[in-house]
Amino acid sequence: MQTPPTPLSSLTPHKLRLRRLGIDTYQEPVLYMHRDCRVCHSEGFEAQSRVELALGDRTIVATLNVVSGDFLAPDEAGLSEAAWRLLGAQEGDMVSPRHPAPIESLGHVRAKVYGRHLTQAAITAVIEDVTAGRYSDLQLAAFVTACAGDRLDQEETVSLTRAMVAAGERIDWGEGLVMDKHCVGGLPGNRTTMVIVPIVAACGLRMPKTSSRAITSPAGTADTMETLAPVDLDVAQIRRVVERTGGCVVWGGAVRLSPADDILIRVERPLDLDSQGQLVASILSKKVAAGSTHVLIDMPVGPTAKVRSAEAADLLGRLLGQVGQTLGLRMRVVQTDGLAPVGRGIGPALEARDVLAVLRNLATAPADLAQRSLLLAGEVLEFGGAAPAGGGLALASAVLADGRAWRKFQDICAAQGGLREPPVAAHQQAVHALRSGSVLAIDNRRLARIAKLAGAPGAACAGIDLHVRPGEFVERGQPLFTLHAATPGELAYALEYAASQAETVHVLEDA
């Protein structure tokens, strides 16, 4: 029963052929290996094992799923879309799956679970491992949970912000002010950025704005801007746009300003845990990395907004101010009305239409969007010294009224790659009031859901055009809103849902 020893050279390395399986796991790198795969057995890999793959100069760690089906051969290693992209793989590339080194920084996560204070070095070690993709989704969830609530003190929040900045790219604008703004927890349709940037730039201040795409909403500022001009610019392109025009509105995700934050956010979102420290680090790390010197925070406060009370707003504002200052930023926080959606359109193209109406001073321009934009632009102008204290709103209003803002916006779009017309939906249908009365309330959450069922933001033309506002009187049969969709199917589904949610626009019959 004794077996002669097998020479080692015949055993290693164990190569598998990479295959793109086209499975979108929402950014978690997943490796699929067949249960009859020799490497699986010899390495003792099992489902949920963490496995390291190296290709060229790239190394990733993926979570293993073991396949017994016939869509994968025993000598193949299937990759999820995220793993394929991170590894820079090509069909037919060969890899040797192996055990990753133990993640030392998990010890710091455990320390935080026990309530210990984490040093800058500890937090930096965690964030470096997170950025390198060494944490599994479960481990990310543990880190996020251990730091959630009020468990990061101000010093740790500063450390987390610094670590996030260090893990990404950083833009250096040289001498001079770099203005920025950020809205904490969006309201539907709140596209003030696209009005503020041209006003501020037209007044001679520099304002290079990186924005995000929609995560759960029907449109992010980057999605809306993209219906008017390209937004996928790299750092060199951004620099050219800003040098030429003084401003830009681009997608921040293309720039990798805070890759660790991008990774943490995808775990934070489904957990829906409030976390002051992580929120502050998420916002400020991107501002520091973007090279901003002056940051205005727009904080909408209202019962359905992210910040629900003036007290919570004060607390968060203070933390943002203090951490930002420690990191060398000048900070200003403005609390705004967070009660109702802003503008009339919901969805990229419809929101872009509202922005264009404001910039072009059209009679159809939504007054609330114009007013919010001017208020915030005025604050930025005073903050940057382009207007005297108390004179910002007047200057902003003048720049908008005389067409300078609109011309600047056209310049910015041209520099980003060319101004274009937002698309118009081929399929539209109105939803009508079932009774006469006053509009008591509009449910932002349901409106967002209907707009997404209609196809937003994937279909840029899709969304909702609101025709009424809270407090207005409507007649039975009067259109409340119009659905826009790219296909009849999506229109029908959105209508079906809207019909089942009659109180989305709540009309109270007059007594």
Give the residue numbers marked as catalytic: 274
Residue bearing tokens 């922005």: 355
To its own copies, the closest distance from the beta carbon of 89 in angstroms equals: 14
Report the SS3 class of residue 219: coil
Work out how close the CB of 251 gets to its own copies at its nearest, in angstroms, rounded to a whole number.
19
CB atoms within 10 A of CB 174: 6
3-state secondary structure 317-374: HHHHHHHHHHCCCEEEEEEEECCCCCCCEECHHHHHHHHHHHHCCCCCCCHHHHHHHH
Give the torsion sign (CA, 129, 132, 136, 141): positive
Contact of 487 with 454, CB cutoff 8 Å: no
Which residue, 436 or 487, has its beta carbon nearer to its own copies? 487
Could you tell me if 182 and 141 are in contact, meaning their C-beta atoms sit under 8 angstroms apart? no
Rounded to whole angstroms, the Cα distance separating 201 from 389 reads 18
Strand partners, 77: 18, 33
Choice between 220 and 392, CB closer to its own copies: 220
Nearest CB to its own copies, comparing residues 64 and 248: 64
Element (H, E) at 193: helix 193-202
What is d(CA 321, CA 406) in angstroms, rounded to the nearest whole number?
32
- Tokens 């607390």 sit on residue: 315
When the beta carbons of 81 and 379 are compared against its own copies, the nearer one is: 81
Beta strands 473-474 and 437-442, pairing class: antiparallel
Q: Say if strands 207-211 and 247-251 run parallel, antiparallel, or are unpaired.
A: parallel
Q: How far is the C-alpha of 267 from the C-alpha of 134, rounded, in Å?
A: 15
State how beta strands 479-485 and 463-466 pair.
Answer: antiparallel
Q: Using an 8 Å Cβ cutoff, are 182 and 287 in contact?
A: yes
Kindly tell me which of 258 and 275 has the beta carbon lying closer to its own copies. Answer: 275
Cis bond leading into 13, ω under 30°?
yes
The tokens describing 99, both together, are 């055990």
Choice between 168 and 455, CB closer to its own copies = 455
Strands 179-183, 58-67: pairing is: unpaired
β-strands 330-337, 427-432 pairing: unpaired
CA angle 493–223–357, rounded 5-degree value:
95
What is the closest distance, in whole angstroms, from the C-beta atom of residue 496 to its own copies in the complex?
Answer: 6
Q: How far is the CB of 184 from its own copies (least distance, A)?
A: 19
**Identity of the residue, 127 or 290, whose beta carbon is nearer to its own copies in the bound complex:** 127
* Strand segments (E) across 434-478: 437-442, 463-466, 473-474
Q: How far is the CB of 86 from its own copies (least distance, A)?
A: 15
- Please, which residue, 64 or 171, has the CB nearer to its own copies? 64
CB of 167 to its own copies, least distance (A): 22
For the beta carbon of residue 206, count every other beta carbon within 10 angstroms: 23
C-beta of 346: minimal distance to its own copies in Å? Answer: 14
Least distance in Å: CB of 111 to its own copies? Answer: 9
